Chain A
């Protein structure tokens, strides 16, 4: 056992040296690099000649770096993702892993901040075993990791982050998001709101103070104004993510007396906000939209009629999901293991892992059954169309994903103790997305009322 460990360790060192050496030759600035890494090259030259090219042999395990929040207020959202990953990986391994190779995941806690997340990403990427990164949950971390993924050439699947800034330049080779982005997600809410409450005049917004919150506010406002120009935004609040206390913000919302309160708070922030806002009458005086409301349905007693959705199609009780036996099985196994039904972050994680597995299978099919390299995996992800637990994820030319958007309102059901989503609509993913390379906000400004007329109506998805 020990000798095996040592030989694995030596092999890893060697393979990393080999990588270093290979990169050396591939770069144009040989003079500078020679000065800097010359010694490495010289050292490696002697060793590499006698080592086989390890990357193409089937490894003993395939590593995935999975980034999610496992601590802090965001863990309320991040842990369901990790749970789903645990369950999904067990399911994949029970069926023989990927191409016969078992999957093992290394989890990285995003709560340590961009600095730590980047350090961990580099460390994991330095190990050739880790061929794909499933990163990250937070938009901030995705934005921080994306340049790194391109530089280190590691296929990186954004399992949850949805800022439209991530893939906007269309140059991405290694970053993928089989997920949809903030543009369709929040246009969907504007459309649903206008169908359900056509006379809306005043809107207040309370979103977390970072890219996700600000982007969502911009998109939601732009879409509302394009289709109903007389809508007025009476308050815009951006509390710091992780704030435990929203009492003053709630008073501010109450004094503004808006027709609609829109929020994309999430994780523990959302739970705190709902628990503090409900007894103070916000849900009765205004129509509330909680964009990530589905994540707290099983934890916080939400009143009826709150507009909620799943930022995509990942609602485990949707008609499509119920029609798929493996999804039903997944939901029941999840409930049995973790005591709760999956929430949409769980589904997003499970779908992202399915996406990764499909990429491995496709890459191996393309290169004749050999174990794929990182570059071959990225190639396989490009333009792929993957059947997920809850629908399909189509990867566009800019590596962004097209998924459908489900929106509805909370309703009580005798079948469950918690409220579920009723009066649903399922918008087609491509219908709410601008074309590749188009500026999203400019595109939203061009929307006309006819655009809304052609969309399905609330209650049409049964």
Chain B
């Protein structure tokens, strides 16, 4: 088993990166809007579908294959620009101040709608586009061949954690968001346009969801049902880290990733149980999650 330690750690990091991308948008939206967006998983898979479609288009026109890296980013922006304002203005805004039950139900309705829309638009066949993965090649580490793309994903995840922290702590927008999160009414009364902040924050959440889906496509296929699976995983991670905690989501992704990888290496029959068991364990001890706290609410 000792020769498996390096692969084990690398695999944990690689799967943690993918899990983090699925969860970070959910937790960000909750921190600002205090809405648990059950349709988050669908936005993740829409991001994946759009990215794969664009990459397939690039491949079919025999354009420069390196464009597909840009396509991954572009598709996330595209999805965020369309769905972010639309969903926030059209539906989510309506639930502010309502009970969690209403928020969950409204977004559950949206989830059902988006799942069917994907089926209508993208069909039922699975999508797969691995050009970005093949372009980067592979490296042998500890006797096991890894894709360089997997390592890129780990770096990207770190970049997103640091980037979000910088955005929140060191930019004007970040300070405005912090003000709204800390005290919504006070922020409003000193003249902050909270509506704009909500649209921006929600769109940022959609962007992160779609980016997660887009970045995952080169290493894994997309098919109907992905949204539902992603949703519940994102939910577990956000809950473990503490809803609304970005660093918490990062740490939780590591825990869930490690739990899954350990399960696959040591007890393969339990791999699907691991994330939820971890969630249950953490929530029973700390219902607010690892980083969450009862009184102060920070992002």
Note whether A and B form a binding pair: yes
User: Contacts A247-B15, A254-B145 known; A76 to B130 CB distance under 8 Å?
Assistant: no
Q: Confirm or deny: A459 has a beta carbon within 8 angstroms of a beta carbon on chain B.
A: no
Q: Confirm or deny: A456 has a beta carbon within 8 angstroms of a beta carbon on chain B.
A: no
Q: Which of B1-32 contact A (CB under 8 A)?
A: 3-4, 7, 10-11, 14-15, 18
Is B219 touching A248 in the complex (CB atoms < 8 A)? Answer: no
Q: How far is the CA of A272 from the CA of B11 in the complex (A)?
A: 18
Which of B219, B223, B264 contacts A72 (CB under 8 A)? Answer: B223
Return the chain B residue nearest A242 by Cβ.
B225
Is A251 touching B216 in the complex (CB atoms < 8 A)? Answer: no
Q: Confirm or deny: A116 has a beta carbon within 8 angstroms of a beta carbon on chain B.
A: no
Is A72 touching B224 in the complex (CB atoms < 8 A)? Answer: yes
Which among A76, A249, A255 has the highest number of chain B CB atoms within 10 Å?
A: A255
Which of B126, B133, B216, B229 contacts A76 (CB under 8 A)? Answer: B126
Closest 7 CB pairs of A and B: A71-B124, A268-B126, A244-B220, A245-B220, A73-B223, A281-B145, A254-B144
Q: Confirm or deny: B175 has a beta carbon within 8 angstroms of a beta carbon on chain A.
A: no
Q: How far is the CA of A239 from the CA of B260 in the complex (A)?
A: 12
Is B126 touching A73 in the complex (CB atoms < 8 A)? Answer: yes
Which of A76, A240, A251, A281 contacts B272 (CB under 8 A)? Answer: A240
Q: Which of B248-264 contact A (CB under 8 A)?
A: 260-261, 264
Q: Which of B129-146 contact A (CB under 8 A)?
A: 130, 133-134, 137-138, 143-146
Residues of A within 8 A of B130 (CB): 275
Is A242 touching B223 in the complex (CB atoms < 8 A)? Answer: yes
Q: Which of A238-285 contact B (CB under 8 A)?
A: 238-240, 242, 244-249, 251-252, 254-255, 268, 271-272, 275-276, 279-281
Q: How far is the CA of A272 from the CA of B223 in the complex (A)?
A: 11
User: Contacts A242-B225, A254-B144 known; A70 to B124 CB distance under 8 Å?
Assistant: yes
Q: How far is the CA of A111 from the CA of B125 in the complex (A)?
A: 12
Return the chain A residue nearest B119 by Cβ.
A71
Is A251 touching B223 in the complex (CB atoms < 8 A)? Answer: no
Which among A75, A235, A240, A247 has the highest number of chain B CB atoms within 10 Å?
A: A247
Q: How far is the CA of A71 from the CA of B224 in the complex (A)?
A: 7
Q: Confirm or deny: B128 has a beta carbon within 8 angstroms of a beta carbon on chain A.
A: yes
Is B128 touching A271 in the complex (CB atoms < 8 A)? Answer: yes
Which among B128, B143, B147, B150 has the highest number of chain A CB atoms within 10 Å?
A: B128
Q: Confirm or deny: A79 has a beta carbon within 8 angstroms of a beta carbon on chain B.
A: yes
Is B150 touching A247 in the complex (CB atoms < 8 A)? Answer: yes
Which of A79, A238, A244, A279 contacts B221 (CB under 8 A)? Answer: A244
Pairs across A and B, CB under 8 Å, 8 listed: A72-B224, A235-B268, A248-B11, A251-B10, A255-B144, A272-B126, A275-B221, A279-B134
Residues of B within 8 A of A252 (CB): 264-265, 268
Q: Confirm or deny: A92 has a beta carbon within 8 angstroms of a beta carbon on chain B.
A: no
Return the chain A residue nearest B261 by Cβ.
A248
User: Contacts A75-B125, A238-B268, A279-B147 known; A272 to B220 CB distance under 8 Å?
Assistant: yes
Is A79 touching B125 in the complex (CB atoms < 8 A)? Answer: yes
Q: Which of B264-293 contact A (CB under 8 A)?
A: 264-265, 268-269, 271-272
User: Contacts A247-B219, A255-B3, A268-B126 known; A72 to B261 CB distance under 8 Å?
Assistant: no
Q: Confirm or deny: A237 has a beta carbon within 8 angstroms of a beta carbon on chain B.
A: yes
Return the chain B residue nearest A249 by Cβ.
B264
Q: Confirm or deny: B226 has a beta carbon within 8 angstroms of a beta carbon on chain A.
A: yes
Is B138 touching A75 in the complex (CB atoms < 8 A)? Answer: no
For the complex, count residues of B whose C-beta is within 8 A of A.
Answer: 42
A146 CB, nearest partner CB in chain B, Å = 26
Q: How large is the interface on A (under 10, 10 to 19, 20 to 34, 35 or more residues)?
A: 20 to 34
Which of B143, B224, B226 contacts A255 (CB under 8 A)? Answer: B143
User: Contacts A73-B126, A251-B144 known; A239 to B271 CB distance under 8 Å?
Assistant: yes
Which of A76, A276, A281 contacts B219 (CB under 8 A)? Answer: A276
Residues of B within 8 A of A71 (CB): 119, 124, 224
Which of B147, B216, B268 contacts A236 (CB under 8 A)? Answer: B268
Return the chain A residue nearest B133 by Cβ.
A279
Q: How far is the CA of A238 from the CA of B271 in the complex (A)?
A: 9
Q: Which of A184-226 contact B (CB under 8 A)?
A: none
Contact indicator per residue, chain B 137-166, by CB within 8 Å of chain A (1) or not (0): 110000111110010000000000000000
Q: Confirm or deny: B199 has a beta carbon within 8 angstroms of a beta carbon on chain A.
A: no
A441 CB, nearest partner CB in chain B, Å = 20
Q: How far is the CA of A244 from the CA of B223 in the complex (A)?
A: 8
User: Contacts A272-B221, A276-B220, A279-B133 known; A248 to B264 CB distance under 8 Å?
Assistant: yes
Q: How far is the CA of A195 from the CA of B4 in the complex (A)?
A: 32
Is A75 touching B126 in the complex (CB atoms < 8 A)? Answer: yes
Given A73-B224, A255-B265, 19 other A-B contacts at CB below 8 A? A75-B124, A111-B124, A237-B268, A240-B272, A242-B225, A245-B216, A245-B219, A247-B15, A247-B147, A251-B7, A254-B143, A255-B3, A255-B143, A268-B125, A268-B128, A272-B128, A276-B219, A276-B220, A280-B146
Q: How far is the CA of A268 from the CA of B124 in the complex (A)?
A: 11
Which among B4, B126, B134, B226 has the highest number of chain A CB atoms within 10 Å?
A: B126
User: Contacts A70-B124, A271-B128, A275-B130 known; A251 to B11 CB distance under 8 Å?
Assistant: yes
Contact indicator per residue, chain B 25-56, by CB within 8 Å of chain A (1) or not (0): 00000000000000000000000000000000
A459 CB, nearest partner CB in chain B, Å = 32
Q: Confirm or deny: B222 has a beta carbon within 8 angstroms of a beta carbon on chain A.
A: yes
B253 CB, nearest partner CB in chain A, Å = 14
Q: How far is the CA of A101 from the CA of B143 in the complex (A)?
A: 64
Q: How far is the CA of A75 from the CA of B221 in the complex (A)?
A: 13
Residues of A within 8 A of B219 (CB): 245, 247, 276
A90 CB, nearest partner CB in chain B, Å = 22
Q: How far is the CA of A272 from the CA of B130 in the complex (A)?
A: 10
Q: Which of B215-240 contact A (CB under 8 A)?
A: 216, 219-226, 229
Q: How far is the CA of A254 from the CA of B11 in the complex (A)?
A: 12
A121 CB, nearest partner CB in chain B, Å = 21
Q: How far is the CA of A247 from the CA of B137 in the complex (A)?
A: 15
Residues of B within 8 A of A247 (CB): 11, 14-15, 147, 150, 219-220
Return the chain A residue nearest B45 by Cβ.
A244
Is A73 touching B264 in the complex (CB atoms < 8 A)? Answer: no
B150 CB, nearest partner CB in chain A, Å = 7
Which among A76, A240, A244, A276 has the highest number of chain B CB atoms within 10 Å?
A: A244
A275 CB, nearest partner CB in chain B, Å = 5
